[in-house]
Chains A and B, each alone.
Chain A
Amino acid sequence: MERVKVLIVDDEHDFRQLFIKRFTLRNLDVDGVGSGREALKALDRKEYDVVVLDVRMPGMDGIETLKEIKKHHPSSEVIMLTGHGSVKSGIEGMSHGAFDYVLKPFKIDDLLERILKAHERRVLSRGG
């Protein structure tokens, strides 16, 4: 079975590295970028099943990036990752087409489950 392709977008380098290591270990194909702009470039280069997107980033923030992604790559599923204020921004993200949201600090199995579900939906929607 083909590995699920995941793009992690977070401005914190250490976090990105740990994320990549841990999800690679769980048999996902993970790449990481540090900003919204880079994420859009990466999506142009390669097709990702799921984008895990931090809400609060310098420059282009999570919600803006989400809108751009949904505009240019509507088939990619997005999970919002929020350490910010409340669930509000997560919910706002969902209203703009995000698949789900996860609060920092998350449990790895919880996030893995959501990524797999998002992938499942993408496969279903493409197939259907």
Chain B
Amino acid sequence: MTEGILRQILDYSSRADPYPLYEELRKTPVFHDGTGPYVLSTYHEIKGLLHDPRISSDSRNLTAVAGDPLSETGEDEGEGVLPPSFLKLDPPDHDRLRRMTNRPFGPPHSPRRVEQMRGELGGIVKGLIDAIAKEGDPSRIDLVEEFSYPFPVTVICRLLGVPPEDEARFHVWADTLAASLDPDPGADPAERADKTKGARMELGMYLAGLIEERRKNPTGDMLSELATAQGPDGTMTTMEVLSTAALLLIAGHETTVNLITNGMLTLLRHPEHLARLRAEPDLGVPIVEELLRYEPPVQLLPQRSTLSDIEVAGVTIPKGSSLWLILASGNRDPKRFPDPDRFDPDRQDVQHLGLGSGIHSCFGAPLARLEAALALSELARRLENPRLLEDPPPYRQNAVLRGPRHLPIAVDGIRD
């Protein structure tokens, strides 16, 4: 049965519901078909490896993995467009860059940065829903196009300090780059690669210009801080600021789109929880946490490798092997979560793997949590009698960053 199971996971027909395949996979906690990666699907084993210093995230330790979907620099990396971001580095370089990036973003140096955006985020959410109310067709709203995609892109622009008048250009580049992470077998690869490369080049040049400007006239946004901050780790080079900004941009919104969309889809399938959320907006917080367990936007981490022979669940994985850590499967491991296939926002002890764990655990987690909780609470409050028009909705091709490409819904109206 496990024969070809990886192919089945990657196969588009599994996209809407990969969980039965994961259940099958968990019967073999360390799965290896002889040529491909070692696949880990059980909670405790994945958690252990995420904290294991013998596991590298630096793809230079790996033989090339085709179409590596989490790589923000993709296949262009070898051409030196941008140096690898800290997502794809090991300590000590990872630690230094992540620390420097964290200074303007979170504790201890900027403990309130995310919380201070709450009002602004609420304003963006309100604006987007108002626009749907004004211009949308209540009998068919695509929640992805009209809400869960534009929201995080706008947020990341504000956070980085992209001027509002440039946001539209930014959206186009972000869109193209996001599409490049979403291999569509129908498209002409050469054409796509060209387009992607062009977008990356334009984005890079745009950001470089912005960084230069901020270096001369810092304005307090993240780009200014990254470009000018002088801490115990020194100052980032322009190339480091560029690759960090590109990471924040791509990793910071592509995942949030799916978190919000998966969230709304799940709530529409569980109307009792949607009704509760409408009555009690604070439930957004536990709902998002359970969503990160139940439908995590990052399904698997495909780019880890072993620096030594290591033993996991009785199997020795040789040095230099490629690992796939199926976070979404670990999140449904009955050995860790009772009744794991049930969506239960009241669940206690939700130490899920949805945001990873260990030193590479999601950098943007506080922002993603806040964005998703605000978005879902406000959608629940304002949409009157929302219902799914297609179930399952059409999914993106991507098996790693999994989520609906469109989420068509109908509503009776939109409340003020």
Asked whether A and B interact, the reply is no
| Residues of B bordering A, CB below 8 Å | none
